[in-house]
Amino acid sequence: MNENYEVADGVSLPRSALYSHYLDFCEKNSLSPVNAASFGKIIRHTFPNLKTRRLGTRGQSKYHYYGITIKTTSPYHDTVCNAARQSSSGHSVTKSAQGSSSSLIVAPGGTLLPSFPSVNHLNLPAEVSRDKVKTFLIMYRAHCQRILDTILRANFGEVQNFLVHFWQGMPSHMLEVLGCSDVVDLIGVCDGILYKAISGVLIPGTLQPLPASLTQAIRHFAKQLGRWLEESLAHLPAPLQQRKLSVAKSFAHSLRRQTSLTHLAQAARTVLHSAEPVTQMLQDWKQIDFEGIARQAMWTFSQNVEKDYAKIKEIHTEFTQLLDQQATIDQYAEWASSLVDRCVTKRVEKEGSSYQKCAQDFLLKWSFFSIRIVRELTLHSAHSFGSFHLLHMLLEDYILFIVENQSSQD
């Protein structure tokens, strides 16, 4: 406790945030966590002068610990604040979300938006003023920073007002700028930077638990964002609308994917952190006819039987070791990431093929093996079928998330 938190007057942290940090710590150190009530007693024992306050509007309030803050040296400081600007006071503030009971922790200076690309490299047509483009980019950066700040305060509904105010209040002399294809492309890049920052604030760890209320608020925001943009941009050039809506659609999909992952991870933790179900999974795993599955795979899609068989054997051995070691969620995630790196990224570097082609090939093979394994478990009436099904969904969604994230960056 003392390594991560310290007493600070006038500062509050949501109780759910501290408990989430504690769950993450237990998982990384292979410890069994106590329940929320017992954890609260530990907090009060460590910080005896701590007060509990219910903050937020009526019907939307949540309990907070008042008089405590996260140390700047804590690994959870960057996780929660997501590169927030440091100030000498070190204070944080919280605000309840509109339309939800979730809260985010915000440093007083806000979170700085990463730099936007320069307009100097743009090959603008003669009729478009470079100075106007620079002026627009200054305006647009301020607009994006305002959106990021309001997200940090969990004021999701206010984003719609900022979008309407900025785009419908656009001066007429700026329309020529918004009709330039290079400027439209630049806006798309800037939107990607903004959305990446928002994603990092809302879901700092893809597999870390989130309060149910915050998950619901994020999903609602993802659902509404496209409609808000359509209404705000209706009078502006079609290429601008298409580009912004396309980037926003990918962002909303990513948010839904990540909230789904956090939910699956939370469910999988209850299984993987218990010795009995994992032992049963290992027993059922060893009953599967992998030689038969491998032969089917070789016949179906292999062009280099010896090399592909060795790779299948290697992956099978690694997964067996994870079960045998009763690995944590994070260890399974690291393994899945290494699979994508070895089977997709390294292949792209070696062969010069497109990332999308290599990723599609890997996902097709992953799907083939997954279906065959699930079939084997079904035929054997495996007692751990439900546990395997849950872990399979988690790994498949996580691999898809990695691939989609990398594809969007490419």
Q: Could you tell me whether strands 62-70 and 5-14 are parallel, antiparallel, or unpaired per DSSP bridges?
A: antiparallel
Q: Is the dihedral of CA 313, 319, 325, 331 positive or negative?
A: positive
pLDDT of residue 10 exceeding 70, the answer is: no
Residue 221 near residue 164 (C-beta atoms within 8 A):
no
Spatial separation of the C-alpha atoms in residues 97 and 338, rounded to whole Å = 37
CATH architecture of 5-84: Orthogonal Bundle (1.10)
More confident: 77 or 27: 27
Angle value at C-alpha 260, between 190 and 320, nearest 5 degrees? 115
What does the pLDDT average to over 101-105?
A: 41
Predicted confidence at residue 270, as pLDDT, reads: 87
pLDDT tens for each residue of 252-270 = 999 999 999 998 998 898 8
Predicted confidence at residue 384, as pLDDT, reads: 94
Of the given ranges (208-217, 339-348, 355-364), which has the lowest mean pLDDT? 208-217
- The pLDDT confidence band at residue 241, using thresholds 50, 70 and 90, is very high
- The pLDDT confidence band at residue 89, using thresholds 50, 70 and 90, is very low
Q: Tally helices (H) and strands (E) across the chain.
A: 16, 5
What does the pLDDT average to over 217-239?
A: 95
Of the given ranges (103-117, 202-216, 303-317, 348-362), which has the lowest mean pLDDT? 103-117
Predicted confidence at residue 55, as pLDDT, reads: 55
Predicted confidence at residue 278, as pLDDT, reads: 95
More confident: 36 or 163: 163
Predicted confidence at residue 212, as pLDDT, reads: 84
Task: Tell me the whole-structure pTM to 2 decimals.
Answer: 0.67
Of the given ranges (169-178, 225-234, 391-400), which has the lowest mean pLDDT? 169-178
pLDDT of residue 291 exceeding 70, the answer is: yes
Q: What per-residue string of b and e applies to 329-368 under the rule 16 or more CB within 10 Å gives b?
A: bebbbebbeebbeebbbebbeeeeeebeebbeebbebbee
pLDDT of residue 100 exceeding 50, the answer is: no
pLDDT of residue 18 exceeding 90, the answer is: no
Residue 29 near residue 328 (C-beta atoms within 8 A):
no
Residue 82 near residue 114 (C-beta atoms within 8 A):
no
Angle between helices 238-272 and 275-285 (to 10 degrees): 100
pLDDT of residue 240 exceeding 70, the answer is: yes
Q: What is the mean pLDDT of the chain?
A: 83
Predicted confidence at residue 410, as pLDDT, reads: 62
- Residue spans per domain, the chain: 5-84, 130-266, 274-407
Q: What percent of the chain has pLDDT over 70?
A: 87
